[in-house]
Amino acid sequence: MFRQTKAVLQKLRHLSFSRPRQTWRLQSSSAKERACRYQAGQKIHGFTVREVVVVPDLFLTAVKLTHDRTGAQHLHAARDDSNNLFSVQFRTTPMDSTGVPHILEHTVLCGSKKYPCRDPFFKMLNRSLSTFMNAFTASDYTMYPFSTQNGKDFQNLLSVYLDAVFFPCLREQDFWQEGWRLENENPTDLSSPLVFKGVVFNEMKGAFSENERVYAQHLQNKLFPDHTYSVVSGGEPLDIPDLTWEQLKQFHATHYHPSNARFFTYGDLPLEQHLEQIEEEALSKFERINPNTEVPSQPRWSSPREDHVTCSPDAMAPDPARQETLCVSYLLGDITDTSEGFTLSLLSSLMISGPNSPFYKALIEPKIGTDFSSVVGYDGSTKEASFSIGLQGMSEEDTERVTRIISQTIDDIIEGGFEEERIEALLHRIEIQMKHQSTNFGLSLASYVASSWNHDGDPVELLQISDSVAKFRRALKENPRFLQDKVKHYFKENTHRLTLSMSPDEAYLEKQAKAEEEKLQKKIQALSDGDRKEIYENGLELLAVQSQTQDASCLPALKVSDIEPTIPITPVQISTAGGVPVQYCEQPTNGLVYFRAMCSLNTLPEDLRLYVPLFCSVITKLGCGALDYRQQSQQMELRTGGMSVSPQVTPDSSQLDMYEQGVLLYSSCLERNLPHMFQLWSDIFNSPHFNDEERLRVLVMMSAQELANGISYSGHMYAMTHAGRHLTPAGELHETFGGIKQVKFMKRIAEMSDLNKVIRTLPKIKKHILNPDNMRCAINTTPQKMSDTSEQLESFMKDVAVNRKARKPVRANIIKRPLDPLDDSGPSRKLISEQNFKPCQMKTFFQLPFPVNFVSESIRTVPFSHEDYASLCILGRMMTAKFLHGEIREKGGAYGGGARMGGGLFTFYSYSDPNSVQTLSAFRKGVDWAKSGQFTQQDIDEAKLSVFSAVDSPVAPASKGMGRFLSGVTDEMLQSHRERLFAVSHRSLVEVAERYLGVGQRTCGVAILGPENETIKKDPSWIVK
């Protein structure tokens, strides 16, 4: 997986910290206490302890070690969390854009000395209970992380990962499959034309179909023109075919060495065990080398530079005439200076975050563009950090004006500084992030320290966040102009800055296709007849290898008997506050209170449904009560961990044509801020401000821009939503709220010259939604805080009671489901039942300016509590691993694809796929394969492991009890689903494939997003959009 620099979860504001959970291990003392017993200088399994540091903020003890023989570095974070993580990262510094580190990342996972079978990585997904498994290529490092809650599984995965990175097979065939190859379009037909194929080749073509990605890549390459950051580490599609197999092996030999490696382990498993295994299986077989992979500092420019690039036009852009992007990027200091990095990332938030920030006021509010540029703010993912500020969705004639505003705003900041309250709000946010517990905390930590540690920064220093905060407060106290001086130094007086503009070129895709064609012809012209024959034979050989049944017996595996037979019960209490049902769930939330409210849409007139997502995104951003939108934003930052409203569509667990529709209110706060948080909600209920057209226009444009940018990023999700839209009533609503239909609707709203119609519509929606009469709430907090929270909730309900009104549902057929299954007379959820719903088949093709396709086919099957649901879940996993992965990715060259069960639909999908109609026939073949029963008990057991690793993935205290609150699925229902999963057999899998997926039985929808397609255009059964 190629990781765009700017997307790395590098910034403090993206890091969510979690708190210890009850672990299932019996232990006399906690993991972090045990780790305190290590002493600097102590020798353990070939490693020497360098330092041991207690980090109370994050409830962990950090142990830093070095490997004596090779110099490999190791960081262990001991913490009472059973979701243990391992990661190894190598500094990978390519000097060309052939994508060598990225192709190597794919290829090392294709088999190794101890595990020579093809693709052990994908096979382990089905032989383990991992909670995470992946690999990333960043600009200057490659990282291999996994996490699991099972100790045996940890050892199995560690063995596979160590062997993969240090002793990979790197077969030429794997290089052809994963990197690039010349091959006949149809490998079995010698007369079919030669084309480029390969997984990374197609992945990067897909990646560069996103204009935001194109811009970010150019910006980095041009701001750092003198070393590794001037090339595309993931691979520029036209340069990938210049890479040779020899160069790949050479890059591995020089970069994948323990002397160039950093190991990270996290969780409650003992450190000695990890070190012993790492030493024995890998490090003991190496001597120290000097890897010579350091990245030198970028020589500074004496004067600023300007540059321009082009991209493809965006069919979904809110305003087709305004598609220019412009941004100014500044080179800052070295990221290994932790406190300077902390200060600059805080400074960045003060400058750009939220409606109170100077750049928001100066650039966003005048509506010169639709949103900040795709790259914005502090970026600490390169050796020297950078800060970028600019706009997207602007017109070309405004470029001068924007650069003028940027330098003027910097002058204004130097003169006026920042309000103290804004600084406090940011520090409050950091406090909340340290207390909030996420389920993948180990992974967040690994990503957070990766860049600085990669350049020999101190990872432990990064973890000591309170120290950075304290240091920052001291600096501010000693020099009130501390932040202004930084702005002056890094922005005003900085000559190493780049102004980069990007504009759409109608012929962009055509030029790219032409360049690829020229590259292809150049390669073809150099071939002799003998070469062509060899290519054909290689293609057949690769196809034969891809088609063979794999022997994976060399790989370690857990057994189905290793899975816990029962689930832990989450106790909840159902009560009422001010006449509104409430679910209380006591959890170790570490001093935070989590509030949710589900508000029904049953009384909302149907012509207003399309407006619901817009209503949700603006209702907390327009101002309320005595607060204008700026003050409201400030109070939310100071008093809460965020407040959001989002549309919810929940299919019923027992009837396909029943669903619940609503919007979900969500917020969290520190215990001390409870009254403030509820006061903010009261003001939103009682007196939201809807009449500021200027403010609304800004929010509409940002929202439309964000939706337009998202299509290329998650094309397969849009295809899947669209494929299911005519199959169930809930599917239709999903498309309305989150499908292409919504993207087009928001584009129309953004194009309106007058928003008065919208301004008149929002209060109508508000009176239906923010109505205590059709609302239920949920609270997750500590037992100590529960009674106080319920009192506060009670008084909030009194405050908003004026909005209570019994309104008539729009549909007559409302079915009530008790919130407590044991109490029929108590409060209930009100679902809509569409008994007369008629599913219909439809095939839709969306022609979009992408070089690759996103394909989906959806089939109407059964709801969650149906006896066949479990078999369909296992079938989806098994079909993906044992059939579709080989057809769609290995043979077809797509970046990925598979099948999954959910919401009453069995859905096939592929993404970054060079094929379209061929992929649909691969889906069909998958069904035939399942019906033929050509799979073994081992295949079924592996699919069960894979499904259970998702079913049993850790749940954060904030989210416990949410399945029950949102969809009425109780622990008892989950337990019987679990028992049905265990019981799935060969026979039941063949039966469900025949019963639901066979051609005569099925009702299905198909959707494809992709480039112009002649085959589909000529076929009258398709609707082309």
Residues labelled catalytic: 105
- What's the CA gap between 574 and 586, in Å, rounded? 12
Pull the structure tokens for residue 34.
Answer: 């045990």
What amino acid is encoded at 412 in this protein? D
Tokens matching residue 244: 């040779």
Contact at 8 Å (CB) between 857 and 924? Answer: no
Asked if 179 and 248 count as a contact pair (C-beta separation under 8 A), the reply is yes
Strand-pair category, 580-586 with 658-670: unpaired
Residue (of 426, 411, 415, 416) closest to 350 by Cα position: 426
Residues 6+ apart with CB under 8 A from 868: 861, 862, 988, 992, 995, 996
Measured between alpha carbons, how far is 489 from 941 in angstroms, rounded to an integer?
61
SS3 900: strand
The three-class DSSP label of residue 563 is coil
Sign of CA dihedral 510, 514, 517, 519: negative
- Cα–Cα dist 720/734, whole Å: 10
Do 440 and 83 form a contact (C-beta atoms < 8 A)? yes
Residues in the chain: 1025
Q: How far apart are CA 55 and CA 107, in angstroms?
A: 38
In the chain the first and final C-alpha atoms are separated, in Å, by: 31
- Distance between CA atoms of 223 and 390, rounded to whole angstroms? 15
Instruction: Name the strand (E) or helix (H) holding 105.
Output: helix 100-108
**DSSP type of residue 1000:** T
Output helix, strand, coil percentages for the chain, rounded to the nearest 5: 45, 20, 35
* Positive/negative CA dihedral, 519, 522, 527, 532: positive
CA 875 – CA 947 distance, rounded (Å): 10
In 3D, which of 522, 593, 1020, 582 has the Cα closest to residue 775? 582
Using left for φ > 0, alpha for ψ between -120 and 50, and beta otherwise, residue 778 falls in beta
Tell which residue, 426, 409, 429, has the closest CA to residue 492. 409
With beta carbons less than 8 A apart as the criterion, state whether 154 and 130 touch. Answer: no
Helix (H, G, I), strand (E, B) or coil at 722: helix
Contact 369, 363 (CB under 8 A): yes
Q: Does residue 13 contact residue 432 with C-beta atoms inside 8 Å?
A: no
As beta bridge partners, residue 649 has: 661
Residues 6+ apart with CB under 8 A from 712: 206, 209, 210, 211, 848, 850
